[in-house]
């Protein structure tokens, strides 16, 4: 039985013992599963802006992106941010550093730059995980991260960062803005952000269009990691569409809340889409089963 299967079981078992008020802060644990499939690297060398000299055919560098993109002062939500809070948040921050290390480990064996974060249903913490994972990577020197809000239906990522919601992904996908116009930078360091943008009446059609793939192909050479937050997998098909454009998927389940059958059904959608593993969210502080879930990623390659 795979570690991913066991993580889903763990979330279901904790439904019988809900978290107390002292443990309302989100903490995470993760089970990883390395796919046997090798992802072929695509040709991602096209220029980012149309006004670059076409004969040079060079990607825009990160420093030029930072220089040209929108700058604002983000006000991160202290209920979500685990890196800028009080001492009580240190356990949560360390959990994300561990998750970051696990992804680095996988990246050493295969192509892994674009990571999609999703869940089975709403309110499981996928946006919380995406925001803090991106921050944990960007805190390291020379690690450049682009956080993208791919949830065009019920966006909350800009609220978590305290960032502007527009212009964003929908404006780019409609052809109303270029790549630079939708990228923001609001903190010191190497974290950039593309918000959702204005509401869209046809989100699936926008994500399925050629411009979504073009955007990812344009920005991938500039950043070390792309972290995409997506809608939950069961209500709509958007997460599956985005997974086809990413190198790997992290599946978030909420301890004590997520029904096992629901999570298993949703995660099965990503069996053939490079499912990296399960992030167990809102784990009690006194849980100490991390040694099992942080085992050798090559030791158990069974899919759910």
Domains and CATH numbers, the chain: 3-35+54-293 (3.40.50.300)
Long-range Cβ pairs for the range 85-91 (8 Å, 24+) = 88/25, 89/25, 91/27, 91/285
What is the three-state SS of 139-188? CCCCCCEEEEECCCCCCCHHHHHCCCCCCCHHHHHCCCCCHHHHCEECCC
pLDDT band at 130 (very low <50, low <70, confident <90, very high): very high
How far is 267 from 257, CA to CA, in rounded Å? 16
Distance CA 37, CA 102 (A): 18
pLDDT in tens, 232-276: 999 899 999 999 999 999 999 988 877 888 888 888 888 878 899
**Is the overall model pTM greater than 0.85, yes or no?**
no
């Amino acid at each position: 039985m795979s570690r991913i299967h066991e993580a889903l079981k763990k979330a279901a078992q904790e439904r019988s013992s809900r978290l107390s008020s002292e443990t309302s802060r989100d903490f995470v644990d993760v089970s990883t599963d390395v796919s046997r499939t090798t992802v072929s690297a695509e040709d991602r060398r096209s220029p980012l802006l149309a006004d670059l000299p076409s004969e040079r055919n060079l990607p825009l560098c990160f420093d030029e992106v930072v220089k040209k993109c929108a700058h604002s002062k983000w006000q991160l939500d202290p209920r979500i941010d685990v890196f800028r809070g009080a001492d009580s948040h240190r356990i949560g921050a360390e959990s994300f550093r561990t998750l970051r290390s696990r992804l680095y480990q996988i990246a050493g064996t295969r192509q892994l730059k674009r990571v999609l974060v999703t869940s089975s249903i709403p309110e499981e913490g996928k946006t919380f995980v995406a925001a803090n994972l991106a921050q944990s990577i960007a805190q390291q020197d020379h690690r450049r991260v682009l956080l993208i809000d791919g949830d065009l239906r019920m966006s909350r990522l800009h609220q978590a960062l305290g960032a502007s919601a527009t212009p964003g992904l929908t404006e780019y996908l409609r052809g109303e803005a270029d790549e630079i116009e939708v990228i923001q930078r609001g903190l010191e360091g190497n974290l950039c952000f593309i918000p959702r943008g204005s509401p869209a009446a046809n989100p699936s059609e926008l994500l399925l269009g050629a411009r979504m793939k073009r955007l990812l192909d344009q920005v991938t050479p500039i950043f070390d990691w792309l972290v995409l937050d997506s809608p939950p997998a069961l209500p709509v098909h958007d997460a599956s569409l985005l997974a086809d454009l990413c190198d790997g998927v992290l599946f978030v389940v909420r301890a004590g809340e997520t029904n096992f059958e629901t999570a298993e059904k949703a995660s099965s959608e990503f069996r053939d889409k490079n499912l990296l593993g399960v992030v167990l969210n809102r784990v009690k502080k006194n849980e100490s089963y991390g040694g099992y879930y942080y085992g050798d990623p090559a030791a158990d390659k069974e899919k759910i």
